[in-house]
């Protein structure tokens, strides 16, 4: 991991290093040079609804244009919408998304796509980071133009819906949709429109500061309540930049990414479209996903955490379905990156084609009790397994769990946190084990 880039771009508190106008300007210049070196002429910039988005957009756009590369501003649009535009706009050599995903509004981030709509490789990130930090790279000559893509949402929603020629049902599915006051706020109305669905929308009035504020994929309590109250067939909760989603079944039960992967993989196999008969998830996936895929005769590969790592493993193995329990799912036959709206449409397709409720479909997978706790850290990231009291606590828990569970501890790639995950057959036992490990970490780091 570099000095700037984490698991998903550059991220931090807006107006504090590294999410400053100065770094944004240099990042724009670096992306402009990168684009020029690869023989393209245009960079597309999109953003979510954070109040700091306009500030960073201006700095990034100025940086790009100072290298002689043109800028197209897509406005507020989901992250995968920028990826789509990168693959369809003539001359587009890169796309920049200004978003901190599911983080609170005070944070922001910079994500970069290359031509074709894929995220950068590690090598390409390192090259751009080197340009930002170490090089005086701006050529002194022509200046690029700036323009606005006025129909970016129309293009992107059209792309999504063209993939789903939904059959007409006697009764439309009733949807409850939480847009997290983020990038999905407007386009959700276009995708889940009243010609196809009976949809109700909540948290779709962004004011720059209410993005992810007790809503969206990280906070589904209100959505769960309303799904039951309104007798909806399903609830869909997106995160701030709509590259992931979490479902809620008709009983108000949260259905996370692992169960959606299981449902969609089973459906794809039955239809003969699960290429290589493989699903890719991450090391954070629930034990139940692996057991379910095994029972269905589907191969299962685990990657490191992060959608880029999932995508790398999918391309290596030939898999076409992969994702994370957080709701970040990739359907490679349909898009180049994780897409919350596309994933939601995939799940709706299964419901409409089978005529089954979400709770019935999701019962294909038994979820093992899993507890995830975060320990706040300073900027240091010591090797906790070299600290004997912590290592001893972890080994004791692992011995008690045996083959019936597991412990996974990792530093967050986007926040100053050490994430402790314990999984096993008993909820109260798992909670106690997780608390024991967190206590040891706090006492010894």
Nearest to 159 by CA among 85, 221, 99: 85
Residue 191 backbone zone (phi > 0: left; psi -120 to 50: alpha; other: beta): alpha
Going by DSSP bridges, is the β-strand pair 254-255/234-238 parallel, antiparallel, or unpaired?
Answer: unpaired
Task: Say how far apart CA 53 and CA 76 lie, in whole Å.
Answer: 9
- What are the φ and ψ backbone dihedral angles of 206, each rounded to 5 degrees? -65, 145
Pick the catalytic residue from 52, 65, 99, 101: 101
**Residue 194: how many CB atoms within 10 A of its CB?**
9
- The side-by-side arrangement of strands in the sheet containing 107-114 is 5-6, 9-13, 107-114, 92-98, 42-47, 70-76, 146-148
Task: Say how far apart CA 68 and CA 198 lie, in whole Å.
Answer: 47
Spell out a b/e string for 2-29, using b for 16 or more CB atoms within 10 Å of the CB, else e: eebbbbbbbbbbbeeebbbbebbbbbbb
Nearest to 180 by CA among 232, 245, 224, 230: 245
User: How many CA atoms lie within 13 Å of 365's alpha carbon, on the beta-carbon side?
Assistant: 28
ω into 18 cis (within 30 of 0): yes
99 is catalytic: no
Contacts of 133 (CB under 8 A, 6+ apart): 3, 4
Task: Say how far apart CA 237 and CA 19 lie, in whole Å.
Answer: 27
Q: Would you name the residues annotated as active-site residues?
A: 101
């Amino acid at each position: 991991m570099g000095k700037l880039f984490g698991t998903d771009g550059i991220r931090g508190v807006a107006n504090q290093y590294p999410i400053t106008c100065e770094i944004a300007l240099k990042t724009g210049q670096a992306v402009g040079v990168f684009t020029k070196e690869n023989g393209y002429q245009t960079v597309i910039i999109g953003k979510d609804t954070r109040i700091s988005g306009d500030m960073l957009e201006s700095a990034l756009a100025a940086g790009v244009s100072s290298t002689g590369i043109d800028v197209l501003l897509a406005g507020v649009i989901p992250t995968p919408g920028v990826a789509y535009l990168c693959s369809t706009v003539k001359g587009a050599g890169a796309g920049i998304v200004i978003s901190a995903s599911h983080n609170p509004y005070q944070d922001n981030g910079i994500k970069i796509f290359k031509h074709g709509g894929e995220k950068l490789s590690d090598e390409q990130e390192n090259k751009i980071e080197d340009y930002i930090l170490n090089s005086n790279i701006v050529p002194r000559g022509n200046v690029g133009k700036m323009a606005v893509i006025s129909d970016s949402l129309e293009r992107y929603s059209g792309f999504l819906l063209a993939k789903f020629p939904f059959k007409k049902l006697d009764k439309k599915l009733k949807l409850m949709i939480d847009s997290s006051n983020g990038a999905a706020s407007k386009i959700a109305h276009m995708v889940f429109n009243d010609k196809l669905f009976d949809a109700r929308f909540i948290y779709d009035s962004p004011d720059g500061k209410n993005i992810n504020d007790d809503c969206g994929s990280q906070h589904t309590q209100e959505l769960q309540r309303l799904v039951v109250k309104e007798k909806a067939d399903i609830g869909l909760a997106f995160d701030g930049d709509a590259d992931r989603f979490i479902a809620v079944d008709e009983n108000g039960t949260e259905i996370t990414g692992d169960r959606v992967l299981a449902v969609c993989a089973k459906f794809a196999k039955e239809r003969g479209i699960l290429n290589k008969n493989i699903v890719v998830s991450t090391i954070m996936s629930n034990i139940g996903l692996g057991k379910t895929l095994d029972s269905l005769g589907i191969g299962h590969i685990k990657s490191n955490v992060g959608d880029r790592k999932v995508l790398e493993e999918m391309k290596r193995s030939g898999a076409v379905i992969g994702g994370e329990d957080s709701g970040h799912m990739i359907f490679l036959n349909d898009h180049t990156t994780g897409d919350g709206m596309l994933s939601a449409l995939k799940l709706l397709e299964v419901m409409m084609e089978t005529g089954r409720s979400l709770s019935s479909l999701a019962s294909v997978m038994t979820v093992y009790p899993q507890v995830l706790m975060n320990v706040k850290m300073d900027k240091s990231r010591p090797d906790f397994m070299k600290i004997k009291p912590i290592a001893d606590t972890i080994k004791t828990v692992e011995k008690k769990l045996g083959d019936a569970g597991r412990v996974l501890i990792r530093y967050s790639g986007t926040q100053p946190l050490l994430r402790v995950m314990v999984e096993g057959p008993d909820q109260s036992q798992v909670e106690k084990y997780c608390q024991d490990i967190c206590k040891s970490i706090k006492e010894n780091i």
